[in-house]
């Protein structure tokens, strides 16, 4: 017989008596569930022209200001039509959270779709039978910044696949969601990658887009096994821009939905249009091998991201035959020329972040940096391996140095040539020299690139950039112009002091734009020490205006010729002495990649 210890017997007896007599303590109460701190954001497709937007706001969200406050985002939000009694948004704040005694914690709007240019990703872009959405313009800040996202449509493209009815996708690395909201009857494909191809695309272009995307993905998967491809849903459409010339153009972006838009696209594309399409598709697919969220905080983040995608696109395009060797060489020299001309005689480090990221600058300067740094320093790793290891390190949670990764590689001692390339690259991105001076010193040390006098096309391009600088000074920073053969049309803008009406410029100080003497004349004229030098812009109609001079640095600068075979050999070569070390490290690198893919 088992006897309990006396203390235990007493305790059990006391509990039993308490239960029988009803004197026991009350059962413990359940812990109250704290209120949900998240804002619930829902986007529902209504038709090609509109969405329904819903916010469900928690009690802690007392001041609902929008996170993106650029003019384009504010203007877009002012188009929202309230579907409740809580009033419109002013584009800056969501609106009053209380109105006439009613708590406005659930806001509803009808959102018109738009093809207008956005500051970043378009928030509600219409296609035929589909709508591309990105949540950046809907995001709130402060106590309202934590959001859950929900999308509703008959069919949805999200997270690399198609689903029916509704989805609550996890945000990408930037905290935002992109999705494609479709009608059930809209044509979609699952292979070779999930895609919606707008029925309005010209015949043959839909198949061409898929071929370009798949070829780029296959090539980069082989070349960059450590830079993991991030699956997407591809959405391709067409658009016409009001007020633009009929010349074809492209734009796109590569969030979790990869959006491709062919603007003013011809029914029978010519060679240049096809090259433009290949450039767009391959560039955007290249982004899916990068990790923008992991480089966004880097001061060179956009140069790394956009310049890197341009370099990857360039290598794939040349290998696939989408560009000729001559075109490939011209792309390198063109990027160099535009990068040097865009700095305005200042060091890269002196440019603000907004200036570094403006227009084509991160694309051109980044592409030139990748090509020159990777080719300047042969070492244990070729160009592909250095890029691959950079993204492998990022994906593993480390913070590799971008300049070192390109010039030296991350898995070997830097060679003397690599150390010299690293010194030039740091001088370019971090030093006190102007961009032009830093590039000039670096290019003088590279054997596959040689200076030559500017061609007529080079002079025209530089004069257009110079005229853009004149207009920017006159118009408070705004620029709108269209270059053409022997002329540049400056669009009159209301914020300008002088250029309030359109002006087609064909002469400057009486010299034709095509006159080879013009760059030297302007350089001498605008460097005059006395007074405030000015120039006269003339048109074929005899109308002229006088504007203050702008910096002429670069107008007479030499261009460069690239020896493409030598450049490509430099990108591929690995010195014989380093090949053994490279092969010994190959197994370790493969092991690291395997571990990363298992994470």
pLDDT reading at 589 higher than 70: no
Question: 3-state class of 466 per DSSP?
Answer: helix
Pull the structure tokens for residue 361.
Answer: 């600058």
54, 115: one domain? yes
221, 298: one domain? no
Domain boundary among 214, 245, 278: 278
**Among 17-21, 292-296, 399-403, whose mean pLDDT is lowest?**
17-21
538, 584: one domain? no
344, 245: one domain? no
CA–CA distances in Å: residue 340 to residues 298, 355, 399, 446: 22, 14, 29, 17
391, 261: one domain? no
Residue 318 lies in a domain: yes
pLDDT reading at 123 higher than 50: yes
362, 382: one domain? yes
Q: What CATH number is attached to the domain comprising 152?
A: 2.60.40.3650
Domain boundary among 133, 157, 183: 183
Residue 232 lies in a domain: yes
pLDDT reading at 88 higher than 50: yes
Q: What is the per-residue pLDDT for 497?
A: 92
The pLDDT confidence band at residue 460, using thresholds 50, 70 and 90, is confident
d(CA 211, CA 193): 10
573, 537: one domain? no
Residue 20 lies in a domain: no
Q: What is the per-residue pLDDT for 95?
A: 79
pLDDT reading at 587 higher than 70: no
Pull the structure tokens for residue 134.
Answer: 């990105």
375, 437: one domain? yes
d(CA 428, CA 443): 11
173, 307: one domain? no
pLDDT exceeding 70 applies to what percent of the chain?
86
443, 307: one domain? yes
* 184 phi/psi in degrees, rounded to 5: -60, -30
Q: What is the per-residue pLDDT for 34?
A: 52
Residue 24 lies in a domain: no
pLDDT reading at 557 higher than 90: no
Q: What is the per-residue pLDDT for 48?
A: 95
Residue 13 lies in a domain: no
- Please say whether the beta carbons of 313 and 275 come within 8 A: no
Describe the crossing of helices 308-320 and 325-342 by its angle, rounded to 10 degrees: 160
Which helix (H) or strand (E) segment is 46 a member of? Answer: strand 39-47
Residue 505 lies in a domain: yes
- Residue ranges making up the domain that contains 506: 456-548
- Number of domains the chain is built from: 4
d(CA 466, CA 479): 12
Q: Is the pTM of this model over 0.85?
A: no
Q: Indicate the average pLDDT of the chain.
A: 84
Domain boundary among 243, 278, 313: 278
Pull the structure tokens for residue 585.
Answer: 């490290």
pLDDT tens sequence across 223-247: 999 888 999 999 999 988 654 446 7
* 79 phi/psi in degrees, rounded to 5: -85, -10
226, 350: one domain? no
- Please say whether the beta carbons of 180 and 132 come within 8 A: yes
Q: What CATH number is attached to the domain comprising 583?
A: 1.10.390
129 dihedral zone (left: phi>0; alpha: psi -120 to 50; beta): left
Residue 26 lies in a domain: no
For the chain, the C-alpha Rg in angstroms (whole number) is: 30
Residue 106 lies in a domain: yes
Q: What is the per-residue pLDDT for 247?
A: 75
330, 438: one domain? yes
């Amino acid at each position: 017989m088992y006897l309990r210890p006396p203390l235990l017997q007493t305790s059990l007896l006391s509990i039993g008596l308490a239960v029988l007599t009803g004197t026991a303590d009350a059962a413990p109460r359940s812990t109250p569930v704290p209120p949900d701190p998240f804002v619930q954001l829902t986007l529902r497709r209504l038709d090609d022209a509109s969405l329904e937007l819903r916010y469900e706001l928690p009690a802690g969200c007392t001041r609902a200001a929008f996170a993106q406050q650029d003019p384009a985002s504010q203007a877009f939000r002012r188009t929202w039509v309230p579907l409740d009694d809580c009033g419109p948004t002013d584009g800056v704040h969501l609106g009053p959270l209380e109105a006439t005694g009613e708590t406005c914690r659930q806001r509803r709007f009808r959102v018109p779709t738009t093809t207008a240019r956005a500051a970043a990703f378009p928030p509600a872009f219409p296609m035929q039978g589909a709508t591309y959405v990105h949540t950046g313009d809907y995001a709130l800040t402060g106590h309202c910044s934590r959001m859950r996202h929900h999308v509703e449509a008959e069919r949805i493209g999200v997270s690399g696949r198609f689903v029916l009815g509704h989805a609550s996708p996890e945000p990408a690395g930037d905290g935002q969601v992109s999705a494609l909201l479709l009608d059930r009857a809209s044509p979609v494909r699952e292979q070779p990658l999930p895609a919606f191809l707008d029925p309005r695309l010209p015949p043959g272009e839909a198949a061409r887009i898929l071929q370009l995307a798949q070829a780029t993905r296959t090539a980069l998967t082989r070349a960059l096994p450590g830079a993991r491809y991030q699956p997407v849903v591809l959405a391709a459409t067409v658009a016409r821009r009001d007020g633009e010339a009929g010349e074809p153009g492209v734009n796109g972006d590569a969030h979790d939905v990869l959006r491709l838009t062919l603007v003013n696209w011809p029914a029978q594309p010519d060679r240049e249009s096809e090259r433009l399409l290949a450039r767009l598709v391959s560039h955007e697919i290249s982004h899916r091998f990068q990790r923008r969220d992991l480089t966004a905080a880097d001061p060179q983040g956009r140069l790394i991201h956009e310049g890197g995608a341009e370099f990857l696109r360039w290598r794939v395009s040349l290998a696939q035959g989408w560009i000729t060797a001559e075109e490939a060489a011209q792309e390198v020299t063109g990027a160099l020329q535009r990068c040097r001309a865009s700095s305005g005689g200042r060091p890269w480090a002196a440019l603000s972040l907004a200036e570094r990221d403006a227009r084509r600058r991160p694309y051109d300067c980044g592409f030139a940096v990748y090509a020159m740094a990777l080719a300047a320093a042969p070492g244990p790793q070729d160009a592909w391996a250095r890029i691959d290891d950079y993204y492998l390190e990022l994906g593993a949670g480390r913070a590799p140095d971008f300049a070192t990764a390109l010039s030296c590689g991350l898995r070997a001692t830097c060679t003397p040539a690599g150390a010299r390339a690293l010194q030039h690259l740091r001088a370019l991105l971090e030093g006190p020299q102007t961009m032009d001076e830093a590039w000039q010193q670096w290019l003088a040390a590279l054997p596959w690139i040689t200076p030559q006098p500017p061609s007529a096309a080079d002079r025209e391009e530089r004069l257009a950039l110079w005229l853009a600088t004149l207009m920017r000074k006159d118009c408070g920073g705004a620029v709108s112009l269209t270059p053409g053969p022997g002329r540049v049309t400056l669009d009159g803008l209301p914020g300008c002091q002088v250029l309030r009406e359109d002006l087609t410029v064909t002469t400057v100080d009486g010299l034709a734009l095509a006159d080879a003497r013009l760059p030297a004349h302007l350089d001498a004229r605008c460097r005059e020490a006395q007074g405030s030098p000015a120039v006269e812009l003339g048109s074929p109609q005899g109308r002229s205006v006088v504007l203050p001079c702008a910096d002429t640095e670069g107008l007479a600068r030499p261009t460069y010729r690239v020896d493409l075979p030598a450049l490509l050999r430099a990108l591929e070569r690995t010195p014989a002495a380093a090949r053994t070390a490279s092969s010994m490290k190959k197994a370790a690198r493969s092991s690291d990649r395997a571990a990363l893919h298992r994470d």
